[in-house]
Structure formats: C-alpha cells, structure tokens
Chains A and B, each alone.
Chain A
Amino acid sequence: DSGVTQTPKHLITATGQRVTLRCSPRSGDLSVYWYQQSLDQGLQFLIHYYNGEERAKGNILERFSAQQFPDLHSELNLSSLELGDSALYFCASSSGQGRHEQYFGPGTRLTVT
C-alpha cells in the first residue's frame, strides 16, 4: 500500500458526460501528479500540482482540468468525454518536485460508452 488513495476505483459513463476523479496524497506529500494509462499511448503524464499550485502540464487535453485543494487532495475533471478517454487514470504523490520518487495510487478505471 503506497498511502495514496484514489476514488472511485471504477467509473462507467457515456460520451459527452463529465466526471471527477479524486486523489489523496501520502501524508506530508505536497506534490500530486496525474497520469493516463491506455493501451495505445502507454503511461502519459498529464499535470502536476505542488502545494496547491499548478507546476507543469504534460499531454493533457483542454477538456481536462485539475486542481489541488488546501488539504492537498486533488481532483481531475474530465468533460465532454469521448470513447478514446477510456483509460486507467493514476495519481501519484511525492514529497518534493522533479527528481523525487513518486508513489502511485491504485488508479481509477474509466470506461466511456
């Protein structure tokens, strides 16, 4: 158990809908990262927050957004969902930025029908 929690574990929704994925980092970790894992794209970095501020964006679509709250939990919002958004979404946390190792949550499996 990494200490990172994600909810829900599974999510099934229809195209065009909006969903919110939630992540709680390990106790004391200030950084939260979001990743998408799909069969065709592999694991891709989406976005990074550090102590409530956005620090870096990766391959994140404009339909997707995230935030980190004062209690350090984070939410990833996915809107106008398409079939291709079906994937595993992972959250990871670390104590700092950059070279620090990241600890991954169990993931949220999103299925868009």
Chain B
Amino acid sequence: AQSVTQLDSHVSVSEGTPVLLRCNYSSSYSPSLFWYVQHPNKGLQLLLKYTSAATLVKGINGFEAEFKKSETSFHLTKPSAHMSDAAEYFCVVSDRSGGGADGLTFGKGTHLIIQP
C-alpha cells in the first residue's frame, strides 16, 4: 500500500524568501513521486515528477524537489517565492511498476500563503 503525508497544512512565507513544503511517503515498491499545484477554482497542474532517475528534480516555475530514500521524503523547494505561487500544493505517489493501473494517491495538500 502507498500513502503520502504532507507535514504542514498551511505554510506562510514572505515574497522573495525561500519556500519549503514537506512530504513523506510510504510505498511497498520503488515509487514515482509527483508534486501538483492547484490554484483557486482551477484544475491540477503537474509541477515536477520523480521516476527513479536523478534524485534532484527540477520542475516548472523555479520549483525543485529532492528524493531521499533513506528519509522517505520528497520535499518541494523554491529559492524565492512569488505572489503567483499562492496555491494548494499536493504531494502524490504512485508505486505501480508499470503493469498496474491504480490511480495516484494524494496527500491532503499544503496551502501556501505568500505575504507581500
């Protein structure tokens, strides 16, 4: 079974300061991990993905995440927050090895607030 824990339901940072959104996962297999972002009244947009290649993954809009197997973590970071980053962020795991067909397992989300 797979699961995801997002350690913070809300994170507030000032514009221009670093962002850290924390995620821990549990998986029986070698997982694929994703971060998605959801802006108010919008669908989900893929930020980045990890699928067992490089452990440091770069995504869109300056975000990146590091896969740490020993810590079962996949934290999302950005060096400098922008007002447009205010949104809900979801850490997501899929541990099917390609032959399976399960959907994604989502964390409960972290609401990112950017203070001017």
Q: A residues bordering B, Cβ < 8 Å? A: 2, 4, 31, 33, 35, 42-48, 50, 55-56, 58, 90, 92, 96-99, 101-107
- CB-defined A-B contacts under 8 Å, sample of 23: A2-B43, A4-B43, A35-B103, A46-B103, A47-B103, A48-B102, A55-B101, A56-B100, A56-B101, A56-B103, A97-B98, A98-B94, A98-B98, A98-B100, A98-B101, A99-B51, A101-B32, A101-B46, A104-B43, A104-B44, A104-B45, A105-B43, A107-B43
Q: B residues bordering A, Cβ < 8 Å? A: 32, 34, 36, 42-46, 49, 51, 90, 94, 96-106, 108-109
Set of chain A residues within 8 Å of B32, measured between Cβ atoms: 98-99, 101
Partner of A50, one of B42, B96, B101, B106: B101
Number of A-B residue pairs, CB cutoff 8 Å, is: 70
Tell whether, in the assembled complex, residue B46 and residue A106 are in contact, meaning their CB atoms are under 8 Å apart. Answer: no
Looking at chain A's contact residues, the main secondary structure is strand
Query: What is the minimal beta-carbon distance from A45 to any residue of chain B, in angstroms?
Result: 3
* Bound CA span A96–B96, Å: 12
Set of chain A residues within 8 Å of B105, measured between Cβ atoms: 45
Tell whether, in the assembled complex, residue B97 and residue A58 are in contact, meaning their CB atoms are under 8 Å apart. Answer: no
